[in-house]
Amino acid sequence: MTTTTLIDNGILNQHLIDPEICIRCNTCEATCPVGAITHDDTNYVVLADKCNGCMDCISPCPTGSIDNWRKVPVQQPYTIEAQFGWEELPAELPADVLAAASTQSGAGSGDVEDLSQAQAAIAAVAGISANTSSAAGVGEDVFRSAAYGASAPPWSAAHAYTNLHGPKNPMTATVVGNLNCTEAGFENETHHIVLDFGAMPFPVLEGQSIGIIPPGVDANGKPHVARQYSIASARNGERPGYNNAALTVKRVLEDHEGKAVRGVASNYVCDLKVGDKVQVIGPFGHSFLMPNHPRSHILMICTGTGSAPMRAMTEWRRRLRKSGKFDGGKLMLFFGARTPQELPYFGPLQSLPKDFIDNNFAFSRVTGQPKRYVQDMIRERAVDLMELLGDDNTHIYVCGLKSMEEGVVLALRDVVQQAGQDWEALGQKLKREGRLHLETY
């Protein structure tokens, strides 16, 4: 199925995003290889003239909001402008309306003969370019890191509960902890937040995420949408045996271009006090889950707050090891930050036993030292990594800014190729078996 499918002359199956359950996490836009998804301050939408129907955006969406379709007359699709104004998806059009549209278009007359003509019709109505052949990456031999990311969880992963609470029925959690987990006195601070769910069932696993709804309204007078944060605690709670969970949240004070901006949700969360009440939705995520079988090895690669799921996985393994119920399986971590002071959990990570976890830190902004990134350290540890990559019990997790994803996967490819192995075959095997997971933003 392609995104905008010509079902019959005059009828299209238009791909739409549900604004009611979309949490604006940007996963779909970041994943799309051809730039067919865009957004404004309100909604995320699909550009029908650019989509090549690869379906890469479907699996990574944590809420399922991306997997929606409506049959519409080819001459009257829902425009991009209309979609930006939606608060909910429109109802399905009646069958008689669609039948009339098909008849009016001249069924069988060849008025709309193929998908490209259908997209041209959409472009005419929506006021956008119909140049489908110029979309980035279409027909080009380019390296796409997302092509190797698994959409299925490891075979031994625990069952994940998802979407228990949506934007229309959020649950209330209580803040029971808030501490700065980076070195004090630095502007780029990251907070470790602990939320308690009381008596309400809210089971979460390592690798899942939740959404927090900031109070108040945006510049357009609409309630703020939820922001997504990865779980940073083990499945049995930040405090074992309690119905709570931890998050890792960086206070946003500038955008990606370095311009001053105060992140609405991040500053709200970082300023929370013990006892404050928070509106929470989720949990989200069904594939970025850790394996449970004891011989599994976990290779973790992250930057910044991408450390949250890695901290969760490491803590669960630490608790199992302490209890004497887990023996085997290596942990290897590659963790990047600008400086040691900005690296979340730097102190606690250094105190973990060397025979428990193999830590590798890369810092890119240390005065007097060359810039080092996680991909540099991956190449430096090629021999040890190849031993892990050659083991079918190894699972790989990559989390952090989108800009690091391609460099990391390319580094893994280099390690494999330098060992005389076929990366394409191994990369596809890792994806097929749910062993290479990419979660970048």
Active site residues: 229-230, 399, 439, 441
Concatenated DSSP letters for 48-85? TTT-----TTTTT-SSSTT-EEEEEETTSPPPHHHHHT
Name every residue whose Cβ is closer than 8 Å to that of residue 89 and which is 6 or more positions away in sequence: 16, 18, 19, 20, 68, 70
- Helix orientation angle between 402-418 and 382-389, rounded to the nearest 10 degrees: 90
CB 50 within 8 A of CB 134: no
CB 119 within 8 A of CB 48: yes
Distance CA 134, CA 34 (A): 9
Q: Kindly state the helix (H) or strand (E) to which residue 297 belongs, with its residue range.
A: strand 297-303
Concatenated DSSP letters for 201-247? -----TT-EEEEE-SSB-TTSPBPPPEEEEB-S-TTTTTTTSSEEEE
Name every residue whose Cβ is closer than 8 Å to that of residue 423 and which is 6 or more positions away in sequence: 412, 413, 416, 417
